[in-house]
Amino acid sequence: MLLSTVTLLSVALASAQQLSSNLTQITDFGPNPRNVSMYIYVPANLPPNPPILVSPHWCHGTAQQVFEGRPWASLGDQYGFISIYPNTSNLADQCWDVSSKESLTHDGGGDALGIVSMVRWALKEYGADKDRLFVTGTSSGAMMTNVLIGSYPDVFAAGSAWAGVPFGCFAGNGYDVWSDACATGKIIKNGTEWAALVKNAYPGYTGFRPKFQTLHGTVDNVLNPQNLKEQIKQWTSVFGISQVPTEVTKDTPLPGWTRSRYGEQFEAYEAAGVDHNIPNQVDVVMDFFDLKCSGSKCFSRRSGNVTGMLLECIDHLVV
């Protein structure tokens, strides 16, 4: 009964969205040592140089569920971006590999490399904008967001993590480690230690770092809210900015949610009374990624890079 209601609901949702095309599976998209499957939604009227949004699923979740449960495809129709839905090959619990040395290393392998190969493939295939590649997910998808932003700072422009854990918090022996210590909030490090994990993922990298947004419920009993505090230490330290917020806004976007901003590069939301089932706030993601924007002034790795902007200006002056 419940199942058929859910099925009917998702059919209703899919048809209500009136999508301009279908979810398509792509094979042979590049290095993919863990056999992650790739699904992509490409709007029928794709503008030139479109952005790409990647949305990895939660544990026990699938690409199909994210496609149906999040409005990225219909928003892609509306605003002109591609969305990619990776599907894990780990049938034990359908959680992402956020533990292996491979995933936690730039171009090192693991699920992370499979997902990045999808992005690199789509970038070429559709002439997408290499400076507007984004990743967002919930739970295991949020952990993978932390991993991708940490291991591939050269690829993404920004990430948005909903109820996840810091980069490297689940690190362990193998591809499908469940870290009880991390999940229960017992892995505590200082900012320098957390940042070292990220920096060691891509030693010697000094380029642009994707900006980052993280959100967590205060009564999350699957991934302890301590993990929000640890992510704050980690990412402020990666960016080399203070752990003291530059701006705190209460009751945004919902009553009881508090947003702390740490300059332009990082923000953290604490959602009072919210458990692990944190309700996704689509506009929070869309606005942070500036995905409603078209034209030359949208947020991107270019606009986020002052040196790059200056060079571009000089370029235009010369040409």
Ligand X SMILES: *[C@@H]1O[C@H](CO)[C@@H](O)[C@H](O)[C@H]1NC(C)=O
Residues with a catalytic annotation lie at 139
* Overall size of the chain counted in residues: 319
Q: How far is the CB of 253 from ligand X (least distance, A)?
A: 29
Q: Count the residues of the shown chain that bind ligand X, applying the rule CB under 6 A.
A: 22
Nearer to ligand X, 18 or 255 (CB): 18
> Residue from 181, 311, 313, 314 that binds ligand X (CB under 6 A)?
311
In contact, 166 and 234? CB cutoff 8 Å: yes
What Å distances lie between residue 226 and 80, 144, 163, CA to CA? 37, 18, 11
In the DSSP assignment, the letter for residue 214 is E
245 preceded by cis ω (within 30°)?
no
Specify the residue, 94 or 281, whose C-beta has the smaller distance to ligand X: 94
Provide CB contacts within 8 A for 304, sequence distance 6+. Answer: 157, 208, 211, 264
* Residue 172 C-beta: closest distance to ligand X, Å: 19
Query: From CA 242, how far away is CA 73, in angstroms rounded?
Result: 37
Rounded distance, CA 89 to CA 59, Å? 12
Residues 145-204 that bind ligand X (CB under 6 A): 190, 192-193
Q: How far is the CB of 64 from ligand X (least distance, A)?
A: 3
The answer to whether 108 and 151 are in contact (CB under 8 A) is yes
Asked if 76 and 43 touch (Cβ cutoff 8 Å), the reply is yes
Minimum CB–partner distance for residue 91 and ligand X (Å): 6
Closest by CA to 119, choosing from 73, 86, 161, is 86
Structure letter (DSSP) for residue 278:
P
CB of 96 to ligand X, least distance (A): 13
Question: Among residues 87, 214, 226, 231, which is the contact residue for ligand X, using CB under 6 A?
Answer: 87
The smaller minimum CB distance to ligand X, of residues 78 and 190, is found at 190
Chain centroid offset of residue 108 CA? 19
x/- mask, ligand X, residues 104-143, rule CB under 6 A, reads: ----------------------------------------
- Rounded-to-integer distance, Cα 241 and Cα 238, Å: 8
- The residue range among 85-93, 104-112, 221-229, 240-248 that interacts with ligand X, by the rule CB under 6 A, is 85-93
Which residue spans within 88-190 are E strands per DSSP?
Answer: 133-138, 158-162
Q: Are strands 24-26 and 37-41 parallel, antiparallel or unpaired?
A: antiparallel
Minimum CB distance to ligand X smaller for 122 or for 274: 122
Q: Point out the residue whose Cβ comes nearest to ligand X.
A: 308
Neighbours of 152 (CB within 10 A): 24
What mask, x for binding ligand X by CB under 6 A, covers residues 15 to 54? Answer: ----xxxx------------x-x-x---------------
| Residue 7 lies near ligand X (rule: CB under 6 A) | no
Q: Identify which range of 60-68, 266-274, 279-287, 289-297 contacts ligand X by CB under 6 A.
A: 60-68
Among 3, 203, 307, 318, binds ligand X (CB under 6 A): 307
Residues in touch with ligand X (CB under 6 A): 19-22, 35, 37, 39, 62-64, 87, 89, 91, 190, 192-193, 207-208, 305, 307-308, 311
